[in-house]
Chains A and B, each alone.
Chain A
Amino acid sequence: MVAMSKIATGNGHGENSPYFDGWKAYETNPFHPTERPEGVIQMGLAENQLCFNLIKNWLTKHPEASLCTPQGVNKFKETALFQDYHGMPEFRQAVAKFMGKVRGDRVKFDPDRIVMSGGATGAHEMVAFCLADPGEAFLVPTPYYPGFDRDLKWRTGVELVPVNCESCNNFKITRSALEAAYVKVQEANLRVKGLLITNPSNPLGTVLDRDTLKSMVRFINDKNIHLIGDEIYAATVFMEPEFVSISEIIEEEDVECNRDLIHIVYSLSKDMGFPGFRVGIVYSYNDSVVSCARKMSSFGLVSSQTQHLIASMLSDDEFVDNFITKSKELLFNRHKYFTWSLSQVGIGCLKGNAGLFIWMDLRKLLKEETFAAEMELWRVITNEVKLNVSPGSSFHCQEPGWFRVCFANMDDYTMKVALLRIRTFMLKNNEAMVPLKLCRPSSLKLSLSRSLSRRMDDFMSPGIMSPHSPLPQSPLVRART
């Protein structure tokens, strides 16, 4: 067969890494409350499904937001023809305003710096293409979103170098860790072009404090490298401490910063719950980057139909204010209930205040402090407890035993089933860890599942969590047939 490119035949897409097949257990046996009550519950997908009622309510009252209603169809033609890569002005203005509101209006965003991309996925790739040449490197604090390996490296040829963070200080990103990583890269004769941070953090579910942010801004200024802030979870901060954006930090008096080094990646996939709409944003304080990214956006513009809808929705101040507040409330409640339930059975989590997931500490359950043991435990959780969670190693976490568990992508009933399974598992297998008062299960509304068979031999190696690659028989697709 004739060769394809090196990019095509290599593994840079990340899906062949030993983690991909972990989804199979879920895909072949997905949970359904009535049709498949013993199926695997999906807790590996960071989706925000809690606020759709608010959105649907708004849509009912605003038919002009759609090009397909009698009230909106007069805009169909001009919108369908609109392919200007600057994007619709109303869209940019609405997104800029939304980004400001999500930051408590402590900072204003300029609509002319809003550049579109194919989701946050496209935004990251675009930023890498603008800032770095093949072989150059970005520093990335661990643990980090597995998709970065594909988004930043695959077609760009750029390298990612981890900055190790440890649980002993709550995975704080220290100046010394940054310096150490920087030096290491230099010694390998590679050039560091930037530092990529995710704030709020995926998978930790925490926000960066002001001091850490200032320290990072000073660091990148000293080294004259870029700072890319992935802030796609900004509106999912549901309790104190407050979210602080790098856009705020650079305005502070005691921070000296070359703004040409500062760039933000944003998206509506997590904050609004619209991953299907592919609304990615690159916001740079560097004019050349804005200009270059805008030209590149031709490869992944937001559908004008969607721009039109979003422009309408996000320029409704009342709706937006209410949505942000309500979303936080629902996330807070869900998070609280979840973490409390886990603590009742002796499972702790990193103290988090944001995101759509918790960073669960199962180190005590490991046979030994190794990644092999983590994998074993993961297989048990998948096959026995029937929950698809994400092992810390897929996030490049340096310490085995941590797991990311998503809690916002399911209804209340499913959440209770999931918690019940965890509880059952802990009581059966790890009784020693469960607080004494709960050793005897109280009356349960739901019946316990039948004895869990161990089917580890027909389980394949776990696979990477790629949000876009559910297998063809995914219930996401099935739901539509």
Chain B
Amino acid sequence: MEFTRKNRQLLSRIATNDRHGENSPYFDGWKAYDSNPFHPIHNPDGVIQMGLAENPLCFDLIEKWIRENPDASICTAEGLNKFKDIAIYQDYHGLREFREAVAKFMGRVGGNRVTFDPNRIVMSGGATGANETAIFCLADPGDAFLVPSPYYAGFARDLRWRTGVEIVPVHCRSSNNFRITRAALEEAYEKAQRSNINIKGIIITNPSNPLGTVLDKETLRSLVSFVTDKKIHLVSDEIYAATVFSSPRFISVAEVMQDMDCNRDLIHIVYSLSKDMGFPGFRVGIVYSFNDGVTNCARKMSSFGLVSSQTQFLLASMLSDDEFVGNFLRESSKRLAKRHHVFTKGLEEVGISTIKSNAGLFFWMDMRPLLKEQTTKAETELWRVIINKVKLNVSPGSSFNCSEPGWFRVCFANMDDKTVEVALDRIREFVLQGKEENNHEADKSQARAQPWRKQNLRLSFSSSRLYDESLMSPHMISPHSPIPHSPLVRART
């Protein structure tokens, strides 16, 4: 207590508040994984990580390219003559070739229906930095942004923490596949106005995290016209653009703008190579704005999080190799599609449904039939069971601010094929065991039947038997904050 009080006097409010998000009830969920991580040989009973949206499926292609292109590095014999120039290059405009390569890549990812201007490419510290920079440019402390839910848990920190800006969720519902309707937007906007909350913009994530779906043209047009009408900004986080693995295709807000009457000064895109290429460690965030004032301002702010010139140089080379990029994008989609199919089929076989998705590195799993009751508390209970009994670290919907309990985000790309099998086996076992126990309790379950329940599945394990009482409340999943003994770190020692 004394320590905290002293801290409050010594440190800033930002340093002593909770808006970094890691004290929210979800963080400790990682503990079970970190203290008992799965390994096929060394720890086959460990917890499998399915809470990290990573894309490691195509590194063989990348490594091959690296070997064939030694001049992409400033450390190889072929590239060493560039070392000095690159090491001293700190111009916040960024290397021209880097900007050109990224602009070209973004264009290709959008099916070449849009050309991106390299002079609008502004760097940032990953998508984390890009989202924060966008908010710093567009809103003052106390202002708010509408964010359709469910949304990425990290937004609470990225959009709000140091900026002082608020998030007003626009709750979307499963009844219409979590579609973002004009009516919902209007309602949220009006409500905010009535409460004297100054809405400065909307942030959308397309493709969606956690849903794994893309926005259709109609929804995008509706969003663009909404912001134009209300004179507020639209920030489109498109970091999963290249993870679309089946139709419908990805449509960028940039494409939709082209044949619409709209105010271009309101439209901004956040991009990154963390998901599409699988390079979260390289911290390549991009702010792409159609507003000159924002571009200029964001560029000045990029000093706080420029991309390492060493990394700019490497990626400039890699992404300007048209053949490699074409092949990479095709293979990546193929492999993601395959992995997605294996999982969703496996789940279907045991009666678990997921939202129909065609993008992202995860699927949105419907576990509502297994909830004791339609509450967040029940969802958390079920989550504890999944972690402790089924030994899978998945992410509960409430950590994405989903208004309906019972949904879980499950990442499928961040593991090898063998581990996929193990994970599916565990799920099968868990569900089948549940069915067995169900048969003994048929009467009880009939009495509590809900109209939306398709299968007669029910979580029958008494949670008090199952979860570790010493496990603290589940905590928010922050991608950057694995606990010190995380195997990510261990792998290196």
Contact = CB atoms under 8 A, between A and B. Distances in A.
Interface in A430-481: 466-470, 472, 474, 476-477, 479-481
B31 interface: no
B293 A80 contact: no
Contacts of A121: 303-304
B281 A81 contact: yes
Contact of A5 (B79, B137, B479): B137
Contacts of A13: 297, 300-301
B314 A305 contact: yes
A260 B266 contact: no
A249 B15 CA distance: 27
A477 B88 CA distance: 11
Contacts of B308: 276-278, 302-303, 305-306
Interface stretch (A127-135, A340-348, A390-398): A127-135
Contacts of B95: 477, 480
Contact of B14 (A9, A83, A130, A224): A130
B309 to A, nearest CB: 3
A119 interface: yes
B25 interface: no
Contacts, number: 295
B304 A273 contact: no
Given A2-B231, A52-B87, A66-B76, A84 B486 contact: yes
A70 interface: yes
Interface residues of B, number: 95
Contact of A274 (B87, B126, B300, B307): B87
Contacts of A477: 91, 93, 95-96
B410 interface: no
B346 interface: no
A176 interface: no
Contacts of B62: 76-77, 80
A69 B85 contact: no
Contacts of B418: none
B446 interface: no
Contacts of A66: 73, 75-76
A294 B29 CA distance: 20
A90 B54 CA distance: 23
Contacts of A277: 87, 308-310
Given A131-B12, A132-B12, A274-B87, A76 B59 contact: yes
A397 to B, nearest CB: 23
A275 interface: yes
Contacts of A481: 96
A8 B480 contact: no
Contacts of B93: 470, 472, 477
Contact of A56 (B6, B80, B279): B80
B294 interface: yes
Contact of B73 (A68, A155, A468): A68
A30 B93 CA distance: 19
> Top 8 closest A-B pairs, CB basis?
A276-B309, A304-B281, A68-B73, A66-B75, A303-B308, A300-B305, A85-B480, A83-B280
Contacts of B162: 129, 155, 296, 299
Interface stretch (A57-65, A159-167, A206-214, A327-335): A57-65
Contacts of B96: 477, 480-481
A52 B84 contact: yes
B465 interface: no
Given A300-B125, A481-B96, A305 B89 contact: no
Nearest to B312: A276
Interface string B2-18: 00001100111111100
B265 A1 contact: yes
Contacts of A224: 10
A476 B482 CA distance: 38
A206 B15 CA distance: 33
Nearest to A87: B489
B80 A305 contact: no
A273 B87 contact: yes
A4 B486 CA distance: 41
B281 A49 contact: no
Q: Which of B83, B139, B308 has the most CB of A within 10 A?
A: B308
Which among A260, A289, A479, A480 has the greatest number of chain B C-beta atoms within 10 A?
A: A480
A186 interface: no
Nearest to A301: B283
Contacts of A90: 492
A422 B266 CA distance: 51
B91 A468 contact: yes
A299 B304 contact: yes
Contacts of B132: 299
Contact of B488 (A84, A295, A305): A84
A77 B488 CA distance: 12
Interface string A69-96: 1100100111111111110111000000
B84 A49 contact: yes
Among B56, B139, B480, B486, the most chain A Cβ lie within 10 Å of the Cβ of B480
A199 B190 CA distance: 54
A278 B123 CA distance: 13
Contacts of B424: none
Given A295-B22, A469-B92, A260 B303 contact: no
A469 B492 CA distance: 37
Given A80-B282, A121-B304, A299-B304, A88 B492 contact: yes
A276 B86 contact: yes
A466 B95 CA distance: 17
Interface string A15-37: 10000000000000000000000
A202 to B, nearest CB: 16
A268 B479 CA distance: 26
Given A277-B87, A302-B308, A133 B80 contact: no
Contacts of A292: 11, 14-15, 20
A4 B293 contact: yes
Given A77-B56, A305-B308, A480-B95, A69 B70 contact: yes
A118 B306 contact: yes
B481 interface: yes
Contacts of B75: 59, 63, 65-66, 68-69, 309
Given A274-B87, A276-B310, A300-B125, A84 B303 contact: no
